[in-house]
Structure 1
Amino acid sequence: MSSSQDFFAAYDALLARWPTGTAELDVPTPYGTTRVHAYGPADATPVLLLHGGGSTGAVWFANAPVLGTHHRLLAVDILGDAGRSVPGGRPLRTTADLMGWLDALLDGLSVSRTHLLGHSYGGWLALTYTLHAARRVDRLVLLDPTQCFAGFRPGFLLRSLPILLHPTKARARAYLDRETAGTDTDVGWKRLYALAVSDFAHRRLVVGRRPDPAALSVPLLVLLAGRSNAHDAEKVAARARKAVPDARIEIHAGLTHFAMPTAVPPRTNHRIADFLADEPEE
């Protein structure tokens, strides 16, 4: 089996763990065709899910059963990253291009307003898009978002360099094992991530400037990994509270950055669902 076949086998294995009734959609945009995994009542309020770099939209399999009970989940393979989305037409080069792509994606899905949920890079993308098109976003959930309230720890960047400069499956898996030690991070997802790093070395995520969260006008929930090596969770929480005083911010002491979202406790999925439904928490 070739390396790309290995990747798509791992991808399909995660997708098979999504609930029965999940649909696969290919949505054309001026920037290429975007793969979306759709689950939940077709007439329910949509939730657009934006994964972290290399994770693919299949990563939300463990969250879908709860979040998709009363919402229509739309889990995206971010264009330009590993997955089944296919770039074509206009190139994605700038933050403005990313915003245009998401505008076109929502149009193609016939979604005028949505909730947004993003992890890591997907959190940066979700926050940036909300500031770009607040009229289209009802609520925003960020899971250990990067480059939103604080920068990366220098040590995290140094440890990441080997898989950025010389990506191999073994190197990526060893890196991920260190970064998720002591958590219940899903083994199948770790295999997919390692293959994404090694098989899609050409992937180039568009990275823009840090957004200004103080301009946010929609309800915000931020869930941080207390053991995140990407940044200092306490510092991120403090900056988030200062920028968005009404935000709900929680730190999960036992989680690391890459443990999200597959190791998120069941209670946390219910808390996210309650926040998106604007229901009081227990």
Structure 2
Amino acid sequence: MADRRLDCERAQRALLERWRLPVERIELDSGFGTTAVTACGPRDGEPLVLLHGGSTTSAVWFANAPALARTRRLYAVDRIGEAGFSRPGARPPRTTADLHDWLDTVLDGLALPAADLLGHSYGGAIALAHTLERPHRVRRLALLDPTQCFSGFRPGYLLRALPMLLRPTAARARAFLRWETAGLEPDPAWLELYGRAAEFPSARPIVSRRPPADRLATCRTRVLAVYAAASRAHDARRALAATQRLLPAAETALLPGATHHGLPYQAAEQVNRLIEDFLAKP
């Protein structure tokens, strides 16, 4: 296990070097363990907390951090119990309520009474759930191809993912990633980290139910939802339509050619511009 952790951390450091800007490692202790946060950007910039997708780490923001950190103070979080620099304690998060409490400890540790959230995939689901549960802590919410928020997974995607979930190996993880990215070769350093992360022992993902329509109707937070048109995780057009129906005030966008796991680095220029424009509005 120690060797796998070191291999995974080496892969994460290699991807962090792609950020091409000074970063600071912050470690936040709580009853859940030690949460590692990679911070960058002007210290007086408005805070933006980044929540990565499943089976990955905070290093995945390599194509976005240089642009977003020009004006924002970024805090990219490694979730406890998954690959990355965070370390679980005696009571790691095991329920959705734990996830909310854990994220509160992160915001408290960063001295952020409220912040903007940016989440991809599973990180987007956590960000949306936290927005609904703790609306006073989220100023604005940006979602990149969020899963289990407004629509479900494609059955074919889950079937393809099953062997990797039952017996994860780097080879299976990388083959799955290549399949989902629809023939577009994934970034080599990202592919290396994804494979290493798959073999790293971690807690089971905390799966929460999709928010019901009446719960979403209570949302008063400004929301941006960006979908990958070529996503194999779900039908992006249906997910976008459901977002517009359930959150009529939300801003939405569909990125042609982008895939679920290819975000946030695929179409990075468009992704960054959409996020920057959204956050610049009062």
TM norm. shorter chain > 0.5: yes
Q: Is residue 2:255 matched to residue 1:252?
A: yes
SS of the residue corresponding to residue 93 of structure 2 reads coil
- Paired residue type of 1:207: V
- Paired residue type of 2:280: A
SS of the residue corresponding to residue 257 of structure 1 reads coil
Task: Give the aligned length.
Answer: 278
Deviates more, 1:15-24 or 1:57-66: 15-24
Map 1:151-166 → 2, pairs under 5 A: 151-166=152-167
- Tell me the residue number matched to 2:244: 241
- Tell me the residue number matched to 1:195: 196
RMSD: 1.5
- Tell me the residue number matched to 2:62: 61
Quote how far apart the aligned CAs of 1:21 are: 1.8
- Give the TM-score of the pair, scaled to structure 1: 0.94
- Tell me the residue number matched to 2:181: 180
8 A Cα contact 1:51 1:120, kept in partner: yes
In 1, Cα distance between the equivalents of 2:50 and 2:232? Answer: 23
C-alpha change, 1:74 and 1:254, in structure 2 (3 Å) is: same
- Paired residue type of 1:54: S
8 A Cα contact 2:64 2:268, kept in partner: no
In 2, Cα distance between the equivalents of 1:34 and 1:152? Answer: 29
8 A Cα contact 2:41 2:72, kept in partner: yes
In 2, Cα distance between the equivalents of 1:203 and 1:170? Answer: 20
C-alpha change, 1:7 and 1:71, in structure 2 (3 Å) is: same
Please, which runs of 5 or more residues in structure 2 have no aligned partner? none
- Could you report, residue by residue, the CA deviation over 1:90-143 in whole angstroms, capped at 9, with x for unpaired residues? 231111110000111100110111000000000000000111111111110000
- Tell me the residue number matched to 1:128: 129
Q: Is residue 2:225 matched to residue 1:214?
A: no
SS of the residue corresponding to residue 156 of structure 1 reads helix
- Tell me the residue number matched to 1:270: 273
8 A Cα contact 1:77 1:84, kept in partner: yes
In 1, Cα distance between the equivalents of 2:171 and 2:39? Answer: 32
Quote how far apart the aligned CAs of 1:182 are: 4.0
- Tell me the residue number matched to 1:167: 168
Deviates more, 1:105-114 or 1:268-277: 268-277
- Tell me the residue number matched to 2:264: 261
Deviates more, 1:23-32 or 1:211-220: 211-220
- Paired residue type of 1:232: D
Quote how far apart the aligned CAs of 1:184 are: 6.1
- Give the TM-score of the pair, scaled to structure 2: 0.94
Q: Aligned to 2:228, which of 195, 205, 225?
A: 225
Please, which runs of 5 or more residues in structure 1 have no aligned partner? none
In 2, Cα distance between the equivalents of 1:20 and 1:142? Answer: 24
